[in-house]
Amino acid sequence: MMRRLINWLTMLTFLFTSAGVAVFFLFFYYGRGLPDYDFLHNYEPIAVNQIQASNGQTLREFSQERRVYAPLDLIPSLVITAFLVAEDKNFFYHCGLDIQGIIRAIISNSTQGSWLSRPLGGSTITQQVAKNFLIGNERSFERKAKEAIMSLRLESALSKDRILELYLNQIYLGMGAYGVVAAALTYFNKTLDKLSIAEIAFLAAMPKAPSFYPNQKDLSRAKARRDWVIDRLQEEEILTEDEANVAKDEPLKISQGTEDKNQPDYYSEYIRQELTKHLGEDIVTQGGLTVKTTLVPALQEIAVKALKQGLIAYDRRHGWRGPIHHVDIDADNKNEWLTELQKTSSPPGLGDWSLAIVLETTPDKAKIGLKNDEIGFIPLEHLKWAKKNLPNQMIGPEITHPEDVLNPGDIIAVSHSTGEFYYLEQIPEVTGGLVALNPHTGHVVAMVGGYDFEKNQYNCAVQAKRQPGSAFKPFVYLTALEHGYTPETRVLDAPIMLKVGGKMGTYAPKNITHKFYGPTPLRSGLIHSRNVMTVRLAQQIGLRGIEKTARNFGLVEKLPHQLAMALGAAETTLLKLTAAYGMIANGGFQVPPIFIEEVMDRHNQTVYEAPTPSKTRIASARSIRHLTEMMVGVAKQGTARSLASLERPVAAKTGSTNEHKDALIVGFTPDLVAGVFVGFAKPRTLGSEETGARAALPIFKAFIAEAMKDKPVLEFKGF
């Protein structure tokens, strides 16, 4: 008997010793080279960058990970308890590893044969912190061993509260949200203290399958998992039976209330790019920046509206391009047409418009069906603009019947009119840009880079290098004024033939009227945009002087020494052109455009501040005064004369390029400068009559009229 006992004891000693040696070996082998975790004592997570308007309004939030960090003492106790109950109810009692949980996982994986598919892991919250911060997500025995070792080390180095705080702020909870605060905002548009019991349980249910549960089309599994968490809270006597039942009866509704702030637009995306350029990708990636911009929200709203309406107006002048899509349907079969319509994706640029399907056309209207199962009508008068778009910018005859442009089965864009009536709409192919700035500070108060950012991310305001055409002429005339010319100095407007050089032959500029006007004062030459006399003027004063002016005003670094440059053949951007006009408006001082006033880090320390403009004088007050007076004449009598109806002083100049590929206008009042560009992202003709005065000027006028509506009428200094 004694011998038997000794044998058993010897065997047990051997087994325990072997197990100890094995554990020691595993700890030694897998514990080598594990990452340092000291940084977790003062860990600062990747945080959201916030872009603000000049009035403090949040324009956009962005980061690699959407997260708002919250100390543990600011997280409601029920939120903490729900996550503990769902993920690790023994958290405060184990050493980092839940031995009972591991044994259960081993038994379950062995009996269910799930070792090779999706084995249960029995991970504790400490293990999840080790995995998320230090080890990684690789599915392997080695990773689990390292995770276990690191968990034991974390438990000895950090307090339970610190580990829990790290977990609740780092855990991924789906929909791009990291941490409980960001998840509450993403799913329910609420702060943690405003969440209901059911909403808290939903968040606690997410760690198991964060990419699977929040399925807007089928929330049944998410609800089942939420209700399981509620049951666990009841079992732990955190909730009463009545509280649990009320919570489970609460409908599960997921909102995305903060989504708009995360959607980029032309302005905020440009700011993000500028931050990366000036501060470096590392600083921007880590987040926590508060960026105060110069944007004025009211003016930005006016700019967006003016540009959109102007581009739509241009698009309508050029007729109907056809439906978005066409399907063959039985118009009397609601299920058929509704199914076809609902499975049609909204095209980029649809915006606030709706998709509809044409069901029938009669002489006075078109009958349409909408995605919400409603029936509507487009009266013939709301279709009148949709003349057929023929080749070479030609427009077909006026339509007399809806079937001239629409057929049953056409899927189209519509906007609501009144009652059951709608307008036919069309997403423009043309794009454009609008920049507005304060000429005295250089602050860019509004900037729109196209019709719709979703449709085209190409920013026409800052990326499109185009010829300014006649909008460049003021800088030719300014150079002449700096050379001693006056607005009354006459320059011959008569045919001129220039040798271009090489195989390019000769160049004979023409006036837009195809007439010549003899000796003409500079004032009239600019007001009526005389091409020939402008070239002759450039010949007289020399291209080097014009190049210096263009460079001082920030238009171009180098101007090719060809007289065609006097007519705006050198490429620049709308932003540079508008900023240059701003330097005319401020009296001839060099003030660069400014988008960002200040950037502060997460500790409210300033990491960037816009430099104070030096305001170097780059043109004499006399020359600027004469030039401004001449440009006011353009807005009263010349190509921009429709601006006279604004009944306030405006100085402006329109511009058109060869083959009418681009249309521009830039102008200013004493305190506001604006520039407008209209063209295609891939340059092609806008149409033979689409000059700056026709395509761009109405946008400029609409913007200035609304922006200055409640402002006092100020005269230009010196007049």
pLDDT tens, residue by residue, 365-400: 999 999 988 999 999 999 989 987 655 555 667 888
Which amino acid is it at 436? Answer: A
Topology at the third CATH level for domain 67-257: Penicillin binding protein transpeptidase fold (1.10.3810)
* Cα distance between residue 260 and residue 215, in whole Å: 20
Other residues' Cβ atoms within 10 Å of the Cβ of residue 97: 19
What the block records as the tokens of 340 is 């076809």
The residue among 263 and 14 whose pLDDT is bigger is 263
Nearest to 206 by CA among 79, 76, 70: 79
Q: CATH number of the domain at 320-425, please?
A: 2.40.50.140
> Residue 228: which H helix or E strand, with range?
helix 220-235
Which amino acid is it at 106? Answer: I
* Cα distance between residue 372 and residue 399, in whole Å: 29
* Cα distance between residue 179 and residue 68, in whole Å: 7
pLDDT tens, residue by residue, 442-498: 999 999 999 999 999 999 999 999 999 999 999 999 999 999 999 999 999 999 887
Strands 431-437 and 365-370: unpaired
Cα diameter, the chain: 133
Alpha helices in 542-680 (DSSP H): 543-552, 574-585, 621-637
Residue with tokens 């170097």: 616
Other residues' Cβ atoms within 10 Å of the Cβ of residue 494: 13
Contacts of 167 (CB under 8 A, 6+ apart): 83, 125, 128, 129, 132
Q: What are phi and psi of 31, to 5 degrees?
A: -85, -10
* Cα distance between residue 427 and residue 414, in whole Å: 10
* Cα distance between residue 402 and residue 361, in whole Å: 6
* Cα distance between residue 61 and residue 280, in whole Å: 18
> Residue 434: which H helix or E strand, with range?
strand 431-437
Q: According to the model, what pLDDT value does residue 67 have?
A: 75
Mean pLDDT of 617-625: 96
Secondary structure (3-state) at 536: helix
Strands 290-293 and 49-52: parallel
Sign of CA dihedral 460, 462, 465, 470: positive
Query: Residues spanned by CATH 1.10.3810.10 within the chain?
Result: 67-257
The catalytic residues are 87, 470
pLDDT bin (cut points 50, 70, 90) of residue 141 is very low
Length of the chain: 719
Mean pLDDT of 564-583: 94
How does the average pLDDT of the chain come out, rounded? 85
Mean pLDDT of 569-578: 96
Query: Residues spanned by CATH 2.40.50.140 within the chain?
Result: 320-425
> Residue 172: which H helix or E strand, with range?
none
* Cα distance between residue 502 and residue 509, in whole Å: 18
* Residue 521 scores a pLDDT above 50: yes
Alpha helices in 119-174 (DSSP H): 125-130, 141-157, 160-170
The residue among 439 and 176 whose pLDDT is bigger is 439
Q: According to the model, what pLDDT value does residue 214 have?
A: 63
pTM for the whole structure: 0.80
